[in-house]
Amino acid sequence: MSEKLVRVGRFSGTFGLKGEVKVSIISDFADERFQVGKTLLLRSKTDLIPLVIRSVRYHKNQALIAFENYPDITSIEGLARGDFMVSVNEFSSSEGFHSIDFKGCDVYDESNIKRGVVLQWEEGSTHGLIRVQSDEKVILIPVVDAFILKKDKKNKRIVVRWLEGL
């Protein structure tokens, strides 16, 4: 598959007897991404397995998703655990920033001083992190409103609240 894929969730286990999968969500757009009828690609070590969502509900900060053609826990246990992916072609331009959009962005502080360039977006335990290469070192900045003040996708520019010691 030559199209670019983005990770939107992680298969973290099964739930109940009805074939539901616990999915740790790695997307700011869960409501758009995880809808009945949409297809997710489960990336295993060797394959991409297309899975059509049959039902979605939320429990303890995770999505519980059932897929068509997997009616019970026995059938779903045969799937390898891995990451759920979607094609970037499915993204709407109105959705805003995605994890892939951060890479290569210039990082400025509130005083309009360039502080570095984003190397990559990483998954944190409760939120995303951007890895920024500054002049002196590589730093991690949480992707939360308290730190990320402005995101300009068109100009590949991010304004952050820069704290002493970063």
Which CATH fold topology does 5-90 show?
Elongation Factor Tu (Ef-tu); domain 3 (2.40.30)
Q: Where in the chain is the domain with CATH 2.30.30.240?
A: 99-160
Residues 114-164 have pLDDT tens digits of 998 988 877 665 677 888 888 888 888 887 888 888 888 788 888 988 877
What is the predicted pLDDT for the residue at 4?
Answer: 78
The residue among 24 and 128 whose pLDDT is bigger is 24
Identify each DSSP E strand in 2-105 by its residue range.
Answer: 5-15, 20-25, 39-43, 48-59, 62-67, 83-87
Tell me the whole-structure pTM to 2 decimals. 0.62
Q: How would residue 65 be classed by pLDDT, with cut points 50, 70 and 90? A: very high
Residues 40-49 have pLDDT tens digits of 989 877 788 8
Phi, psi of 108 (to 5 degrees): -120, 150
Cα–Cα distance, 110 to 163 (Å, whole number): 10
What is the predicted pLDDT for the residue at 145?
Answer: 80
The architecture (CATH level 2) of 99-160 comes to: Roll (2.30)
Q: Which residues lie below 8 Å from residue 112, measured CB to CB, with a gap of 6+?
A: none
Residue (of 121, 138, 131) closest to 6 by Cα position: 121
Q: Where in the chain is the domain with CATH 2.40.30.60?
A: 5-90
